[in-house]
Amino acid sequence: MQSVEKIAPDKKAAATASGFHFRTPADIQDFANQPAKQTMMNALWSNHLNGFTQQGMLNNPWNTINTPAPTNYYNPIDNNPTSSAANIQWLAFPGRLEFNFPSASPDQLYQMADTGVMPGQISNDPCGTGQNVPYFPYGPRGWQDEYCEWAVTRNDAGKITRIDFTCENPEYWNTLWSIDPNQVLALYQSILDKPQITLKDLSVPGVVDPITNLPVYNPLNKWNSGPVSSATEGGAIHLTSTPNTIQTEIGLATTSTVQRFNPPPPPATTNTMWPSAQYNNLICIGQFGQRYRNSDPNIGGTVNNFVTAGNVVTLADPPGLYIQMPDFSNYVTPDGTDASTFWTIKRGSKSLKDQSGNPLPGNFILHAVFEVPADFPYTVGDIKISGKPISWGSQVAYTFKMQIVASAYTGTTPQGYEPVDNTPPDKTFAQPVQLFYQDYFDTLYSIKVANPVNHPIPLLSNSTYIPAVINIGTTAAKMVVVVDTCTAQPNQPATYPAVTFDDPNITAQVTAVKNNISYAVPGNSQPSTYQALYITVAVGNKTAAGEHGVYVTNAGQSRSVAMPALLTVTPVTCQATIAWQNTGVIVNANTKTTVNYTSGLWTANPADNGGQLYNAAGNPTFFPAPPGYPLAGQNIGALLGRIGNTVFLIGLGTIVPANLSGELQLCINDDLNKQYGAGLTDNIGAVSVTIEVS
């Protein structure tokens, strides 16, 4: 079963009924100078948040009882009535440290919060007796689990010179990478003030995106790993502790709207009010979040009380976790300079308005740096807080809070439920958890990530619920479904489950089963054990584009509920800025394959054609490509195909040359090797095609 922190499934993103779209965190626009990419980013991010929201509203129908779909949480994409906003705040310092080590002094707690070196083990079951295990969450900054993480830079004398604080969610950065890895690189360099960072540094070694053939993002790359920052490694760009995700935040908010009897029966009661002193107990009863954090009990209990008062709630747009301005009243600098002048908001803002222009409460800081400029004769380490020099970044973290913003309108109080429990065996169904491409799954699962408590876990724990993308027409994609409460056994095909989708044009065949797959599914503080189903997926040409759900049906059982939004199906699209892109379509000498342009505009040179984009035929004024281009003599900017080493013109449409075998790849006819200039870097746009195989 899932651990205490229940990870509910993604649900298929519904069409926008209200005209509302979720904004990016703090409404940040990372492609402000590239409108086409920003439009793509905004739409993709809104789709992801829509999926996360509907995921939480589904709850868990596979292996738990008393987990109904919430009635008092709403998705503003479906319905966006007038509502009122209120912020929920908590201390950024890790609250579980003081609970687990009550005899530790403040200085010892500060050191633990910065280093992750712990004086002992803790119980693996905060809601029961459990067993003692190394301090979790695991990971290079796992213990910083209040949705705020930081990395400290020191000089040769050991004094702190800079502290980077971040609350940015990993899902956003994975989405940003899918739009343009080079923009992610540029942001890393500018945010951390480290121009030495390279694209290779940010990539997972040994694996590429199966469609673009570009590197895959490594969320625990050398510049976003651990609490120490230097000129050669380290930094804090986005959250890395496994429970520190926006999917968790949304799941926590949705699940905590379900009312729980207080105390649980017997005897029978109608009371569902939980005072703040009992928020940690509510977490155990409802099985959401992690007990004794400053964040989870406060978020869950406050949202629960909103609903008890008869409100229908959501996370105010833009959903996110936000740093608040520190209280600088107890800071003293050596020369009397106001310490707040050394606090720089790198990303986000002090204030923000909703989409109607109304001010939202609190601050909306995503990344902040506390650093004394180099022309001052002292460093951060010379500044005092409450009379003590800043020796640890956590001393600063102790002076500010984090927040989310909720929005609510008046409704009715829903019924109460008894505590969450496991289903009996005859009513337990296979629960799809995540879907990956096989190369990605195998590679990330094989990479073990070290941490200060010497309990390595797979890098797969830092994957996200961002759905895998697959092209229409894909014939044989190798993928892996991670599943819970599945009865399949390795090497026993008769026990293999059926893997199906919410569109019959998508099919899958289970080829292998692996047991005892142990990692922390994003959102969970501790690893759990699952099964991995290796599947081959085909996507028919009549498949609807968009997000799709996955069913996993145990042998001998009827089909249960789909895990929606695990797979995004897209038309075959070729980007002008990327060399040879995979289509997923495998052809052979016995098939007839037809490729036809359907939509989209691009250019191989913004200076051509009066700056206007053109279609897959290429430059409207025929411009034969010189030697060194993929297809010399054919029009620059035309759409090309390749199978093996054979390159051919597609343009507005063609039949693939006969007697070729392999995967069909697409590319714009341009200077791929920068032999004549900028190559692909100045290109704009993309075109889409349909591919028919008969």
Strand, helix or coil for residue 483: strand
pLDDT > 70 in the chain, percent = 98
Instruction: Give dist(CA 325, CA 350) in Å, integer.
Output: 8
For the residues 306-323, what does the mean pLDDT come to? Answer: 97
Q: How confident is the model at residue 16 (pLDDT cuts 50, 70, 90)?
A: low
Q: How confident is the model at residue 14 (pLDDT cuts 50, 70, 90)?
A: very low
Domain(s) of CATH 2.60.120.430: residues in the chain: 573-693
* CATH number belonging to the domain at 573-693, selected among 2.40.50.40, 2.60.120.430, 1.10.3720.10, 3.30.230.10: 2.60.120.430
Task: Decide: 298 and 88 in contact? Cβ < 8 Å.
Answer: yes
Could you tell me the two tokens for 432?
């799809």
Which residue carries 């017997």 as its tokens? 266
Q: Is the pLDDT of residue 24 over 60?
A: yes
Kindly give the pairing relationship between strand 468-471 and strand 563-570.
parallel
In this prediction, residue 6 carries a pLDDT of 37
| Cα distances (Å, whole numbers) of residue 154 to 157, 188, 233, 393 | 8, 19, 13, 11
| Cβ contacts of 276 within 8 Å, gap of 6 or more | 301
Tell me the backbone φ, ψ of residue 688, rounded to 5 degrees. -115, 150
User: Quick one: which of 391, 356, 323, 338 has its CA closest to 169?
Assistant: 323
Q: How confident is the model at residue 12 (pLDDT cuts 50, 70, 90)?
A: very low
Please count the other Cβ atoms lying within 10 Å of the Cβ belonging to residue 343.
Answer: 20
Encode burial over 41-79: b for 16+ CB neighbours within 10 A, e otherwise. bbebbbbbbbbbbbbbbbbbbbbbbbbeebbbbbbbbbe
Q: What is the pLDDT of residues 614-647, one digit of tens each?
A: 999 999 999 999 999 999 999 999 999 999 999 9
Instruction: Give dist(CA 615, CA 335) in Å, integer.
Output: 63
Task: Decide: 156 and 136 in contact? Cβ < 8 Å.
Answer: no
User: Edge-to-edge strands of the sheet including 431-437?
Assistant: 431-437, 477-484, 528-539, 506-519
Task: Decide: 444 and 105 in contact? Cβ < 8 Å.
Answer: no
Q: Is the pLDDT of residue 15 over 70?
A: no
Q: Is the pLDDT of residue 10 over 60?
A: no
Q: What is the pLDDT of residues 520-578, one digit of tens each?
A: 999 999 999 999 999 999 999 999 999 999 999 999 999 999 988 999 999 999 999 99
Q: H or E segment at 574?
A: strand 572-575
CA angle (223, 229, 233) in 5-degree steps: 40
